[in-house]
Structure 1
Amino acid sequence: MTPLVLDTTAIKRATTPERVLTTVRDALIAHAHGRTTVPPPLHLQFPDADGDCHVKVGWVTDTPDFTVKIATGFYRNPAAGLPTNHGLVCVVSARTGQIRAILDDQGLLTAWRTAAAGALATHAMARPDAATLAVFGTGEQARLQVEWLAKLRPIDTVLVHGRSQDKTGSLCEAFNALGLDARPAMADEAAAADMVITTTPATGPVLQAGDVRAGAHVTGIGTDMPHKNELPPALFARAALIATDDHQQCLDHGDFGHAVRAGATTDTSDTPVGLLLERPVERPDDAITVADLTGVGALDAALASAVLAELAP
């Protein structure tokens, strides 16, 4: 059987943000209940090129396909006019072992499932009346996190903190064009928002724990390799509720793991984020909540299968 090769045009035609959100939500819940198979991811670093690569495998129990995904991030690419992220997803039959399709998605499905997971976790864990959102980072993922969270709840103000003044201004203009009230902010002001999402490849904390206000929620999505770190351990010490997308991954190379090794929290203090998506989260109005998301292969499998079902039923 010759596998299909599908490009980004076909993939975009096959789905919508709403379908991605539903698929990722269901996959996170399945993962929280142990209905997935997710081996540890493989990581490669390319220091001379400021790049990294993840290889992730995942399967949702009793579904017809599993996936093997390659996702790369080379952070000097924009200076050369190239996208930061690339990748592809190989969809394999879980019944025959035959390769059904190659999704030449250029990293698109990774970006979508990351945006969906971050938006879902932030919406579920933030106060119902939380309306001020801060995003750290100015790349594609920063844009997607804000846009997709805005599909789930009203957002009054968007604060953008980035290293580049030009990129920060451009992202604010893009948000304003969508009807969101966005403006640049310093790190301490951004950290004091009702909701905070960090979307950077940073190797050290991008905010100070003391700047996060009581009642706030923080989602970190950039720490997907052992050398990366966005959230300070002291923030986890202040948190009344900590959620992880995958307990073992977050211990190994997430911000949660950094906090555990620093003695700021224990290795049993987290709750699977999928469980928090099933029912309203009980939280005092003055509690700080934190989500650490490292990216789960089962989400890639679920989303790739959903796309393929539309294109090759």
Structure 2
Amino acid sequence: MKVFDRQAILASLDIEQAVLRLEEGFVAFSEGRVQVPPVQAFAFPHANGDCCIKSAYLEGSETFTVKVSTGFYDNPGKGLESNDGMMLVFCARTGAPLGLLADGGWLTCIRTALAGRIVARLLAPSRVEAIGMLGTGMQARLQLAHLMPVTACRELVVWGRDPARLEAYRGFARTLGFNVRVASKPQEVAQAANLIVCATPSREPLLQAAWIRPGTHVTALGADSVGKQELDPALVGMAQRIIVDSAAQCSQYGEVSHALEAGLIERAQLVELGAVLAGQAPGREHDDQVTLADLTGVAIQDAQIAQCAWASLQR
């Protein structure tokens, strides 16, 4: 079995190929051509951390993937990254372990960021006046960087809880060419931006329905396990298009789960991203729509990004 570290993976991964692989995976998932066992999840309240184990196999693929991913959100105060983990790539013909991708959680972060890029391409308004970012961590950085190929907007409004990390994020965004405004509260982000990304581990709503402008698109990433929430359920209820990575998973613990429980939406309103990519359902239909993407993270993303990285490392 070969072992590759984060540096080797970073140097070799073809981002544009990864986008295509992820889109292929979302379509296959929605068409029922993917094996995805139930997610194993651990919670460590004493350490403000969590861990999940995800695995997936796309029918016809030469490999399958098992991933361990951790998020310990007090780590930055200890000089450590919030996210860590690794992916194991196995041969789908023999079951032999082929490679350990010791990426430190980076592949999980990048596949999530690229999913944000994909939904922004499909759902963002035709004229993005400003990008709003809730969060200042690695995912918030990657989301911003990977929005750049799909929107010409370089106006950013960002909110975060930690002043030092917020200032560091401002500097990062400026190096990318953004004009940056720091918000003192999430409401300011909602009132200024019509493309909003929520990338926090929050356990209570940060965005309220009353703050959202007509025509806004919101990508919510944080509710990737039970107990997490970034959006007011009424905000989900007001969205005219609700796109999810997995209808089943999002109904269990995504942002839409809270709106379903409150009776604000019906399960039939949920449209999987794979169906939109396959042309079986529309994305944004006009610029006055409020649209929402609830991305809880599905294991086929891990399988596809791992296979893409594995292929690149063999060259």
TM-score, L = length of structure 1: 0.96
Letter of the 2:266 partner, please give it. Answer: T
Letter of the 1:255 partner, please give it. Answer: E
Does the alignment pair 1:71 with 2:69?
yes
SS in 1 for 2:266: coil
Residue 78 (structure 2) aligns with: 80
Q: How does 1:29-44 map to 2 (within 5 A)?
A: 29-44=27-42
Rounded to whole Å, the distance in 1 between the matches of 2:102 and 2:243 is 32
Task: Quote the offset at 1:202 in angstroms.
Answer: 0.4
8 A contact 1:125–1:276 mirrored in 2 = no
Residue 256 (structure 2) aligns with: 256
Does the alignment pair 1:234 with 2:241?
no
Letter of the 2:49 partner, please give it. Answer: G
Task: Quote the offset at 1:234 in angstroms.
Answer: 0.2
8 A contact 1:224–1:294 mirrored in 2 = yes
Residue 53 (structure 2) aligns with: 55
8 A contact 1:242–1:290 mirrored in 2 = yes
Does the alignment pair 1:300 with 2:302?
yes
Q: Which runs of 4+ in 1 moved over 6 A?
A: none
SS in 2 for 1:176: helix
Letter of the 2:286 partner, please give it. Answer: P
**Number of equivalent positions:** 311
Which sits farther off after the overlay, 12-21 or 80-89? 12-21
SS in 2 for 1:214: coil
Residue 5 (structure 1) aligns with: 3
Q: Deviations over 1:86-112 (max 9, x none)?
A: 100011111111111111110010000
Match among 65, 90, 93 for residue 88 of structure 2: 90
Does the alignment pair 1:189 with 2:188?
yes
8 A contact 1:159–1:182 mirrored in 2 = yes
Structure 1 vs Structure 2 CA RMSD: 1.3
Task: Quote the offset at 1:36 in angstroms.
Answer: 1.3
Rounded to whole Å, the distance in 2 between the matches of 1:158 and 1:119 is 16
SS in 2 for 1:237: helix
Match among 146, 149, 161 for residue 148 of structure 1: 146
Rounded to whole Å, the distance in 1 between the matches of 2:75 and 2:312 is 32
Task: Quote the offset at 1:76 in angstroms.
Answer: 1.2
Rounded to whole Å, the distance in 1 between the matches of 2:119 and 2:129 is 15
Q: How does 1:130-145 map to 2 (within 5 A)?
A: 130-145=128-143
8 A contact 1:135–1:197 mirrored in 2 = yes
8 A contact 1:115–1:148 mirrored in 2 = yes
Task: Quote the offset at 1:124 in angstroms.
Answer: 1.0
Residue 214 (structure 2) aligns with: 214
The change in CA–CA distance for 1:242 and 1:63 in structure 2 (over 3 A counts) is same
5+ residue gaps, structure 1: none
Task: Quote the offset at 1:58 in angstroms.
Answer: 0.9
Q: How does 1:262-273 map to 2 (within 5 A)?
A: 262-273=262-273
5+ residue gaps, structure 2: none
Which sits farther off after the overlay, 184-193 or 82-91? 184-193
Q: Percent identity?
A: 36
Residue 199 (structure 2) aligns with: 199
Residue 293 (structure 2) aligns with: 291
8 A contact 2:14–2:312 mirrored in 1 = no
Rounded to whole Å, the distance in 2 between the matches of 1:211 and 1:122 is 20
SS in 2 for 1:226: coil
Q: Deviations over 1:183-210 (max 9, x none)?
A: 2123112113111110000001111111
Residue 109 (structure 2) aligns with: 111
Task: Quote the offset at 1:226 in angstroms.
Answer: 0.7
8 A contact 2:128–2:151 mirrored in 1 = no
Which sits farther off after the overlay, 33-42 or 242-251? 33-42
